[in-house]
Amino acid sequence: MEGDRLTVAVTGLNNTDNPGPGVPVVRGIRESRELEARIIGLAYENLEPGIYMLEVADKAYKIPYPSAGTELFMDRIRDVHAREKIDLIIPNLDAELFTFIKLSKQLSDMGIRTFLPTIGQFEERQKGNLPEFGEKYNIKVPESFPLQSETDIRTIEEKFDYPVFVKGKFYDAYSAYNAEQVYTHFSRISAKWGLPVIVQQYIKGTEVNVVALGDGNGNTIAAVPMRKQYITDKGKAWGGITLSDTRMLDITRRLIRDTRWRGGMELEMIKTADGEYYMIEINPRIPAWVYLAVGAGQNIPEALVKLAMGMAVEPYETYEMGKMFIRYSYDLICNLQQFQQFSMDGEL
């Protein structure tokens, strides 16, 4: 930290049709009236748009995927840290979270803070553990079970009626109306995200989501519910609106209290026609639509940075309901020189 200026490194700059949360997280931090931050973008791919968006990162570095090995990954983080003196890293992608949580002690020893859930919190809300999670915290969840191999697909009909949802352990969810479709989705998802693939009971209703932030002591620092108004063919929100749904907020606060959740989270729920709420997923990080919460009055990225840096944070009590977001695509013109520099030197 130079004076009061923080150096914050952020991943998830892939602002594509399946956007990562990095760019909206940076927007929230940049709009803070209390923080002055130098933003370091950490990117896995050469064409992550946030690398080239001048208002996003002051400097961007390419980093290896955690799957390349922890040592290689940490070597690169050490290298970036030696040059940038990072105060805080905010990882924003599901597939990297486990690695960052595991490395948080090492990072802390280097002077780099994180604000993440514990391994226990991270593991117990995994899609494959959802039934036990629902029972433990008294939350309705759809029935589900993990598919470890294609032969398990035959057992689906003993447990559920079709349709069912077929989900990857990190991303991707497809509905399937028969076993043939499950086979197709199983192959696609397992090739991309590995095993297990999760089969989940289909609950009819409206999907509603909450973005929230827990302080690790059971307190909810921020929570904003949203309903997707326009969904892409990848199931991502292209438009959404904040709701005044007090029951969703009650469920969120209770969950954060009981789990003593630390960090950002996205709670995905289905509200049925008779007003029941089923939790279908907890994403253990800030979602890509977090800027809606900023626009509605709760700057969650700013609050997360302050919590991580040990600054006092007052819980948000209100937000503006009926606030909307609409995503758009935009052609950013770049020079070959920029692409060449990031591809070859790994920094821009």
Partner 1 sequence: MRLKQNIVITETGFVFDSDTGDSYSTNPVGMELLEKLRAQMEMEEITAYMTGKYDVEPLQFQRYFDDFVIMLRHFNLMEEPE
The per-residue DSSP string of 163-221 comes to PEEEE-SSS-EEEESSHHHHHHHHHHHHHHH-SPEEEEE---SEEEEEEEEEESSS-EE
CB 231 to partner 1: min, Å: 13
CB 269 to partner 1: min, Å: 13
User: What HEC string does 282-320 produce?
Assistant: EECCCCCCHHHHHHCCCCHHHHHHHHHCCCCCCCCCCCC
CB 71 to partner 1: min, Å: 47
Amino acid letter, residue 165: F
DSSP 145: E
CB atoms within 10 A of CB 216: 18
* Contact residues for partner 1, defined by CB under 8 A: 206, 226-227, 229, 240-241, 243-245, 271, 321-322
Q: Which of 87, 245 has the CB closer to partner 1? A: 245
CB 272 to partner 1: min, Å: 12
Strand ranges (DSSP E) for 21-152?
A: 36-43, 59-62, 88-90, 144-147
Q: Which of 243, 251 has the CB closer to partner 1? A: 243
Q: Which of 262, 271 has the CB closer to partner 1? A: 271
CB 227 to partner 1: min, Å: 4
Q: Which of 62, 271 has the CB closer to partner 1? A: 271
Q: Which of 132, 276 has the CB closer to partner 1? A: 276
Q: Which of 321, 326 has the CB closer to partner 1? A: 321
CB 239 to partner 1: min, Å: 10
10 vs 44: CA distance, rounded Å: 12
Q: Provide the token pair at 120.
A: 């226990």
Q: Provide the token pair at 77.
A: 């983080």
